[in-house]
Homo-oligomer: A and B are copies of this chain.
């Protein structure tokens, strides 16, 4: 993971509305409407943030009929954190517990 990818990951996390979204659909698929309501933003704003999160690979999109559901890609989050830790906290033993090898 290079500097640019890491910055994309950070940017995706670096907004309160997106944090709210990530926590809301971390364990269950949620529709855009539900997400907008929970995050207290309009539906287009929710779509905007979801596009950013999907671009960063942090959520998966699934369409069923006219409904679109999003859910956090938990393993991607773990991988991003792991790579980040190896780059900027390499001396911490715990950092390496997220590697693929262990």
Task: Give the B-binding residues of A (Cβ under 8 A).
Answer: 3-4, 6-16, 18-20, 22-23, 26-27, 72, 74-75, 77-78, 81-82, 84-85, 87-92, 94-95, 97-98
Contact present for A26 and B90 (CB under 8 Å): yes
6 additional A-B pairs beyond A7-B18, A74-B92, A78-B95, beta carbons within 8 Å, are A3-B16, A7-B15, A10-B12, A10-B14, A72-B89, A74-B88
Copies of the protein in its oligomer: 2
A72 contacts across to B, CB distance below 8 A: 88-89
Interchain CB contact (< 8 A) of A7 among B16, B81, B95: B16
Nearest CB to that of A19 among chain B residues?
A: B3
- B16 x A9 contact (CB < 8 A): no
A8 to B9, CA, bound (A): 13
A59 to B83, CA, bound (A): 19
**A95 partner residues in chain B, CB cutoff 8 A:** 74, 77-78
